[in-house]
Amino acid sequence: MLLLRPDDRICAEISSYKKFAAGLIGDYPSMGSTAHISVSKYTRKKPYIMRPAIETLQPKLKGMPAVTLQINNFKFFVHKNNTYTIYAAIEATYQSDNWFAALGKQLHISKSQLTPHITIARSINENCFYKLWPHFKYITFRQRFMINSLTVLERETLNSQSKWSIFHEFMFEHKTAASFA
């Protein structure tokens, strides 16, 4: 899995919103996950296959700048199986759109496959959604944060209890994305 991790301040705030949601609907599957922006979920690959791919990506991603993103309140996705995902929305700007387009180009991910967001409650049923959304709908949540790296996670695929761990981290240059746009 490829993801972008916000700073500790944003992670703590997202965690508090997840706990707030759990207080209203009880435990739910994504409540324990750390705040992140999912970039891509690759199919199962062995480390010996991923290492050459990472070596190929390293020079491409190293040249990308860090980017400042803005959270702009909450939104939700409706899924085909009548479930919902509530998330903190990343505001689309000229700078962020160009940055995500460049990242997608390097990773061969189309723009339509990437909606930058930080999940609060993933794939919750309709009843849970209707308990939560009236609360999240009116919360003002606007925070800026910097993305400095792209993280590659790994876990055992045949063990349903396995936890994600960091396989590799690509650091971005510390120039701003404004000079990149």
The tens digit of pLDDT for each residue in 90-114 reads 999 999 999 999 999 988 888 778 8
The H-assigned helical ranges of the chain are 8-25, 47-62, 94-107, 126-136
Report the Cα 17 to chain-centroid distance in Å: 16
pLDDT band for 176, please (50, 70, 90 cuts): low
pLDDT band for 179, please (50, 70, 90 cuts): very low
Report the Cα 69 to chain-centroid distance in Å: 12
* Average pLDDT taken over every residue of the chain: 89
Q: What residues are paired with 87 via a beta bridge? A: 75, 119
**Under a CB-based contact definition with an 8 Å cutoff, are residues 126 and 83 in contact?**
yes
Fold classified for 2-176: Cyclic Phosphodiesterase; Chain: A, (3.90.1140)
pTM of the shown model: 0.88
